[in-house]
Amino acid sequence: MTRMGDVLAGFHAAWEFESDSVLIRYERGIRTPKLFQALGERRIPLEAISGVTLTPGKRGTVVLHAEPRPGADPLMEAAAGQLKEGCDPYRLVLPGDKETLAEYYTDELRTLLKEDDEPADRFLVPAPEVPLQFKAYDGKASFDGRTVHFRWFWTGASSAKWKAGDQSFPVSELTGVEWRSPEVFEGHLRLLRGEPGPVQADQDPAAVVFGLGYGPVHESLPFAAAVLAAVRQRGPAAAVPAATAPRRDPADIAERIRHLGELHQAGLVTDEEFSVKKAELLAEL
At residue 243, does pLDDT exceed 60? no
> Which domains does the chain carry?
6-112 (2.30.29), 132-245 (2.30.29)
The pLDDT confidence band at residue 3, using thresholds 50, 70 and 90, is: low
Task: Tell me which of 109-118, 121-130, 160-169, 257-266 is least confident.
Answer: 257-266
The pLDDT confidence band at residue 251, using thresholds 50, 70 and 90, is: low
Instruction: Evaluate whether 115 touches 217 at the Cβ level (below 8 Å).
Output: no
Q: How many CB atoms lie within 10 A of CB 148?
A: 27
How far CA 172 is from CA of 53, 78, 116, 120, 236, in Å, comes to 39, 18, 31, 22, 10
The pLDDT confidence band at residue 264, using thresholds 50, 70 and 90, is: confident
Please report, rounded to a whole number, the percentage of residues in the chain having pLDDT higher than 90.
70
pLDDT of residue 241: 40
Q: Which of 118, 67, 70 is nearest to 90 (CA)?
A: 67
At residue 237, does pLDDT exceed 70? no
Mean pLDDT for 156-182 is 95
Residue 45 CB contacts under 8 Å (≥ 6 apart), including other chains: 20, 21, 124, 125
Instruction: Evaluate whether 243 touches 161 at the Cβ level (below 8 Å).
Output: no
**DSSP secondary-structure letter at 171?**
G
Beta partners for residue 16, in sequence order: 7, 23
Q: What is the pTM of this model?
A: 0.82
Specify the long-range contacts of residues 98-103, CB closer than 8 Å, at least 24 apart.
Answer: 98/8, 98/10, 98/62, 99/54, 99/62, 101/8, 102/8, 102/54, 102/62, 102/64, 103/54
